Structure 1
Amino acid sequence: MSEQHFASGPSCCEPDLDHHLEAFLSGLTQAGYAENTRRGKARRIVPFIQWTHTSGIRLCEVDDLDACIDAFLASPGRRLYKHRSALQAFLAYLREAKVLPPRPMERSTADALRHSYLEHLQSQQGLSAHSIAAYAVSVRGFIEAMHLPEEAADLDARAIQRYLLTLSPEHAVATVKVYAAGLRSFLRFCLLKGLISRDLSTALPCIGRCQPKPMPPILSDEDIERVLATVDRSSLRGCREFAVLQLLARLGLRASEVLALRLEDVHWEQGELLVRGKGAQFDRLPLLQDVGEAIVQYLRVARGHSDSRQLFLSRQAPRIGLQDPSTVSAIAHRALERAGLLPRGRVGAHIFRYSLATRMLRHGASLSEIAEVLRHRCIATTQGYANVDLERLRDVAQAWPGKQEVVQ
C-alpha cells in the first residue's frame, strides 16, 4: 500500500523510527515494565516500522494513523489486539516526543463548553483535581439534558429545578448536594461567559438533611494495632500498605492527601510532613516516629526507581504515582477486613480520621486541639467528627439535683 492512501499533509523529514523505538523501550524499562513485556512490544513494532519503509509510507505525513495501523494489521499473521495496543503506545510516545503532530481533537460544542468550564475551575479558581472531577460529573449530564450551549437561551429556573428533582430519588442526599454545588458553579460560569443573561445559580435550592449523618464505627487504640499487625511488612506490597495505614491512623490524613504526598514533602531534618489539603491549603504536621520509620522502609525496600515525584507509586508497570484516592481507601478496606473489623456499609480511609478524632477526645484533648490536628477551618466541622459516646457522657454529666441517676 502506498503513502497516498494516508498522506495529505505537507512534506516533512521522516524521523528515525529505529532510534525512537530504542528510546521508547528504554522508557518502558524506567517505568518498571518486565523484560518479556518490552521484548513483546518490540516484536510487534519492528515489523510495522519495516512495513512503512517497504510501503513508502512517511508517518509524519499521515493524517489518519489509525487507518495506517488498520492497513498494517490487514496483513496475514497479525494478532490484532496485541499488535494494535503496542503500535498505539508507540505512536502515542512519538506524539508526546513531538516527533509526530498531535492527534487532531474533534470536540462537540457540548464537550467544548464542558472543557472550558473545567479549565476555568483549575486556572481561575484553583480547585484540586479531586474537586474538579466531582464537578465534571455534576455538569456532564446537565449539559446533555439542557442541550447546551445551543439552547442556553431557553434555560430557566423551573427547568433547572426539575433536573435536580430527577436526580434526588436516585442518589443519596450528600451526592445531590455535590451535584447542586457543581451546578451553581457552572451556572455562574455560564453567566460570566455570556451564555445566559441572568444569574440562575440562585434557582437551585439548598439541600438539607432530614436526619443527622450517622457516625461510622470507631476504631479503638487496640483496634488500630490489630489492623496494623495484619500487614505483611516483608513484602513489597505490605511495605506500601503499612506506610499508608500509618499516615491514616496516626495523622488522620485524608485519602486524597496521602495520594498527593511528594518526596520533597517529607522534611527529615525538621521532623515535619507537608500536607496538601483541601482548597490548596498547605499544612505542616509532625513526622511521628512510627510514621517516619514506615516511610523509610517503603522508600528503601518497595518504592523503587521512577521519574515520578509522588511518594506512593503503583505496584505494577508503569511505575507512576497513584492516580485515584479509591486506591488508598481500598488499602484501608483490605486491612480492616483482614483484622475482622470491617463494619457494614461503605467503608474507606475516612474511618481512621473519625477514629483519631474520637480517640483524642476520649484521651482528654479539646475540640480546638483536635481541629488543629485534623486541619479544620471551622470548629463545627470538628464537632461532627468527634463521636461523643454514651459512656463519656456518663463520666462528665452533672447529677440533676435530687436525682441519683444521670443516664438510663
Structure 2
Amino acid sequence: MNWKQAIKDFSIYLKLERGLSVNTLKAYTRDLNKLAQWLEINEVKELPAAITVDTLRTYIYELAKTVQPRSQARSISSLKAFFEFLTLERYREDQPMSLIEAPKTGRKLPDTLSTTEIDLLINSIDRSTLEGERNRAMLETLYACGLRVSELITLKISDLFFNEGFLKVTGKGDKQRFVPIGEYTIKIIELYKNEVRIHVPVKPDHTDTLFLNRRGAGLTRAMIFHVIKQQAITAGIKKSISPHTFRHSFATHLLENGADLRSIQMMLGHESITTTEIYMHVDRAHLSKVINEHHPRA
C-alpha cells in the first residue's frame, strides 16, 4: 500500500467510522501529505506499513524547525491516529509513534471582549448597506449563541426554531445540539432574513442557507474572519480578535453572571467538561464571589 492509497483509506475511516467533520478531515490529510512529501523530497522509499521509528523521529525533528509547538503537536497527533488505523486494519503490527511525545504547548487562556467592546464593535457596523445588516446579524448570532465559525456559515433557515427560542446547530462530527437564543437576537435575525436576504439572488443549492454573500452563495470561514478583523479596526479595538473571540466572550460572560459550567458545556457543544473548564481560569474574582455567596461554610 502506497502513501496516497493509505491516506485515502484513512480519510474514509475517519469520516465513516469516527464521524469527524470536514475541517478535521482536512487537517489530518494535510499533516499526512506533509510527511509523504517530505519522504519523496528526501528520497526515502519507506511505505506506510514499513516506515521506521527512526525515520519518523527525523521527520518530526525537521518539522520542529519550521512550525510552532502547537502545530507540531497536532501533526504528531495526526500521525499517531494514522498508524493506529494501520494497526487496526492489520497493515502493520506495531505503532511506530508510541514512543514519540508531543511538545509541551501549555494552555493558552482565551482572549475575550468586554460587553462594552462587543457593543462598540457591533454598533460601528455601517447598516446602510445590505452587507452591513447581514454582518450585524452574524456577529450578534456569534455572540448570543457562542457558535463556532463553521456552525455559523452552515446555519440554515430550517434550523431556526424561534417559537421555541432555539437554534439547531450542527457542530463537530456533524453532531447536532439545540442552543437557546434570546428575543433581541431573534429580532435582528428576522430583520435580516425578511428585509435584507430577500434582495439577494439566491443560488439553487443555497435556498436554505441563512447567511449569504452578495452572489447568493454561502459565506466562507475566511470571509467571516475578514469581516471581524475589518470591523475591529473600524471600532478602534486593538485586541487581536477572531470569530472564536465571540465564542470565548459568550462563555466568559455567562460564567461571570452566574451560569453553571455544565450548562455552558452543553451550549458550546463540548464533549468533555474539561474542555469547558478553561473558562474557569478567566475570572478568579468571580469564583471567589461564587464561593462567598453560595457555600454554606463561606
Select the residue among 186, 190, 194 that pairs with 2:82.
186
Select the residue among 228, 232, 237 that pairs with 1:332.
228
Q: Deviations over 1:213-244 (max 9, x none)?
A: 2432x212222111110112231111221111
Q: Deviations over 1:126-161 (max 9, x none)?
A: 110110111111111112233598633541122222
Which piece of structure 1 moves more, 295-304 or 265-274?
Answer: 295-304
Give the alignment of 1:51-200 within 5 angstroms. Answer: 110-147=3-40, 151-200=47-96
Aligned partner of 2:214: which letter? R
Specify whether residues 194 and 386 from structure 1 end up closer, same or farther in structure 2 by C-alpha distance, changes over 3 A only.
Answer: same
Aligned partner of 2:177: which letter? D
Specify whether residues 238 and 387 from structure 1 end up closer, same or farther in structure 2 by C-alpha distance, changes over 3 A only.
Answer: farther
Deviation, 1:392, is 4.1
Q: 2:150 and 2:266 mapped to 1: Cα distance?
A: 18
Report the secondary structure of 1:253's partner residue. Answer: coil
Specify whether residues 161 and 310 from structure 1 end up closer, same or farther in structure 2 by C-alpha distance, changes over 3 A only.
Answer: farther
Specify whether residues 231 and 119 from structure 1 end up closer, same or farther in structure 2 by C-alpha distance, changes over 3 A only.
Answer: same
Specify whether residues 267 and 199 from structure 1 end up closer, same or farther in structure 2 by C-alpha distance, changes over 3 A only.
Answer: same
- Greater relative CO (CA pairs within 8 A, separation 6+): 2
Is the 1:265–1:275 Cα contact (8 Å) retained in structure 2? yes
Q: Looking at CA atoms only, which structure, 1 or 2, has the larger radius of gyration?
A: 1
Select the residue among 246, 249, 254 that pairs with 1:355.
249
Q: Deviations over 1:177-224 (max 9, x none)?
A: 221221112212333455434233424324423x442432x2122221
Q: 1:152 and 1:192 mapped to 2: Cα distance?
A: 13
Q: 2:86 and 2:61 mapped to 1: Cα distance?
A: 21
Which piece of structure 1 moves more, 361-370 or 147-156?
Answer: 147-156
Is the 2:212–2:218 Cα contact (8 Å) retained in structure 1? yes
Specify whether residues 393 and 320 from structure 1 end up closer, same or farther in structure 2 by C-alpha distance, changes over 3 A only.
Answer: closer
Specify whether residues 215 and 150 from structure 1 end up closer, same or farther in structure 2 by C-alpha distance, changes over 3 A only.
Answer: closer
The number of aligned residues is 284
In the alignment, structure 1 residue 312 sits paired with structure 2 residue 211:
yes
Aligned partner of 2:181: which letter? L
Report the secondary structure of 2:168's partner residue. Answer: strand
Report the secondary structure of 1:233's partner residue. Answer: coil
Specify whether residues 188 and 355 from structure 1 end up closer, same or farther in structure 2 by C-alpha distance, changes over 3 A only.
Answer: same
TM-score, normalization by structure 2: 0.83
Q: 1:144 and 1:293 mapped to 2: Cα distance?
A: 51
Deviation, 1:288, is 1.8
Q: 1:149 and 1:234 mapped to 2: Cα distance?
A: 61
Aligned partner of 1:199: which letter? Q
Deviation, 1:261, is 1.2
Paired position in structure 2 for 1:103: none
Aligned partner of 2:165: which letter? G
TM-score, normalization by structure 1: 0.62
Q: 2:110 and 2:162 mapped to 1: Cα distance?
A: 36
**Tell me, which stretches of 5 or more residues in structure 1 are unaligned?**
1-108, 399-408
Aligned partner of 2:255: which letter? L
Q: Deviations over 1:263-285 (max 9, x none)?
A: 21112332321011123321111
Report the secondary structure of 2:178's partner residue. Answer: strand
Specify whether residues 149 and 332 from structure 1 end up closer, same or farther in structure 2 by C-alpha distance, changes over 3 A only.
Answer: farther
Paired position in structure 2 for 1:60: none
Q: 1:358 and 1:153 mapped to 2: Cα distance?
A: 46
Paired position in structure 1 for 2:296: none
Q: 1:150 and 1:167 mapped to 2: Cα distance?
A: 18
Report the secondary structure of 2:65's partner residue. Answer: helix
Deviation, 1:246, is 0.9
Is the 2:110–2:245 Cα contact (8 Å) retained in structure 1? no
Q: 1:136 and 1:143 mapped to 2: Cα distance?
A: 10
**Tell me, which stretches of 5 or more residues in structure 2 are unaligned?**
293-298
Paired position in structure 1 for 2:113: 219
Using the aligned pairs only, state the percent identity: 26
Q: 1:294 and 1:149 mapped to 2: Cα distance?
A: 58
Is the 1:254–1:353 Cα contact (8 Å) retained in structure 2? yes
Deviation, 1:164, is 1.7
Paired position in structure 1 for 2:295: none
Is the 1:266–1:274 Cα contact (8 Å) retained in structure 2? yes
Specify whether residues 203 and 371 from structure 1 end up closer, same or farther in structure 2 by C-alpha distance, changes over 3 A only.
Answer: same
Report the secondary structure of 2:169's partner residue. Answer: strand
Q: 2:21 and 2:11 mapped to 1: Cα distance?
A: 11
